[in-house]
Structure 1
């Protein structure tokens, strides 16, 4: 029986690279084949990925042209991990829909789509939300279910929340913190990209367990002041941020992100974190992410 082959969209991006790493870790010595899709195989990230394990093969191509990807692969693809990239209205849907159609045409058995939580398991079924990039994922889920009904292609939907990885030591990270502050006392749910990678990998490796499931993923729930306290206790310094006015400017400039933070103020995510942690006991909370996965230095060690 040939080794299972997995096509990973966005393999050099935040989520895709996390899936590749988790696949290698969770597969152990199993003879899997990973086709890591990248637009630029000569980039530092792509070269590092290719050098990480002989089971990883770079596949040069554009996710918006999936037929060409399958032709380039020149082998049977068993599972696909799909992450869509923000773009003009309809762009994310076009990316995912064309990849689903190509997967059906090429006999793919399992399609893992990284979507977004929309208020918990129940609300996520009927609530697109007023946030454009989240609403598009609601429509993609519906398309996948409709197109694969009665076919051999199974699916898994991952529904993560806001990434802890958005908090970085540079200006974009400080801007994220400023927008978080404006949400006020209401907590928001957060997830480490590493943990999305874990769920993507185990879904691909064990489709018999994960097919047909919709999995909310979050590792912590904190308001801004609580996050500042955790940061201070964990890193020994104050959490970097910038003026609230900068947050307001960013929300106006990036209307979709602004709509998301406004949604946080009145509604927001509703992942059952305890249930997610039962699935993955190593799910990172904010403090663990700071210590193990973030780009911040623990100043207490100086």
Structure 2
């Protein structure tokens, strides 16, 4: 019997999916393939997909644009039969709350039908609250609960805020979000700290869970590699990159805060803050990046 595991990845070309695939392929060598990775992509010829296809043990699988809504077709496109899927990684993109809930639950249901042996869902840190009052967070809790009741062996990862969203190369929408987070979040509690994690480390934790399933099954783990005040974030950023964090005009950010999920998120961070045990995370993955290390890695790759 082969020891190679078949892992299918929903959201493969996004930050988290790509990070997981990068981490999984580190386990593969020129003489041994520990993970066969099936990366679902709507655009297999896009640079993000062709780069994944160049990694050892990775097959980019072309899927329909609505594959998150109809995951059966995605599983079929992988060429894997029922019972042959060892692991699924599921993360949803930026869609409506109703669409995210439907997609998240449907992928779980189809994975159950397909006999998946280990299901990893990437959620969000909920701050140890029973109700965060943040609708986009509570949708993820509903998906978590659906997974827990599905009968599948599972691991749930709950990442804190993404370090990646601070980068000047991130999409404009994140310039708006970081303007809110750095300037207009800690209104009542300016002493609070933002808890942060890099997408690369989310991928490493997911890969670790797939490589050690008996130790990770049934676990729900919140993830953060650093915790810093707003001033500390901006100070580290300037020290490493030599410039200020790129922000946008407050009137635009204020409007977005009012009409988007970023408003409830900001209130959640101000009222409660993250509750990730950062030191425990560092014990589990000693190489987890703090913000300085993350920015130094980014700088080195863009010189």
With the length of structure 2 as denominator, give the TM-score of the two structures: 0.89
SS in 2 for 1:142: helix
Whether the aligned pair in 2 keeps the contact of 1:8 and 1:80 (CA below 8 Å) is yes
Mapping 1:1-302, distance limit 5 Å:
1-2=1-2, 3-28=4-29, 29-53=32-56, 55-61=57-63, 62-75=67-80, 76-119=84-127, 123-124=128-129, 127-148=130-151, 153-169=152-168, 171-180=172-181, 181-184=183-186, 185=190, 186-253=192-259, 255-293=260-298
Q: 1:49 to 1:17 in 2, by over 3 A?
A: same
Gaps of 5+ in 1: none
- Between 136-145 and 241-250, report the one with greater CA deviation: 241-250
For residues 144 and 294 of structure 1, do their structure 2 counterparts lie closer, same or farther at Cα, with a shift above 3 Å needed? farther
Q: Quote the offset at 1:110 in angstroms.
A: 0.4
Deviations 1:67-90 (CA, angstroms, capped at 9, x unpaired): 111212222111000101232232
More deviation, 227-236/164-173: 164-173
RMSD: 1.9
TM-aligned CA deviation for residue 223 of structure 1: 2.1
- Give the whole-Å Cα distance in 2 for the aligned partners of 1:63 and 1:177: 28
Q: What's the offset of the Cα at 1:116?
A: 1.0
Does the 8 Å CA contact 2:38/2:78 hold for their aligned counterparts?
yes
Between Structure 1 and Structure 2, how many residues are aligned? Answer: 287
Q: Is this contact kept in 2: 1:159–1:215, CA < 8 A?
A: yes
Q: Structure 1 residues 69, 295: closer, same or farther in 2, change over 3 A?
A: farther
Distance in 1 (alpha carbons) for counterparts of 2:36 and 2:88: 12
How far the C-alpha of 1:175 sits from its partner, in A, is 2.3
Equivalent-residue separation in structure 1 for 2:34 and 2:237 (angstroms): 41
**How many angstroms apart in 2 are the aligned matches of 1:191 and 1:210?**
19
SS at match of 2:60: strand
* Normalised TM-score (structure 1): 0.89
SS at match of 1:59: strand
Whole-Å separation in 2 of the counterparts to 1:213 and 1:291:
31
Paired residues of 1:182 and 1:244 also in contact (CA < 8 A)? no
User: Helix, strand or coil: the match of 1:293?
Assistant: helix
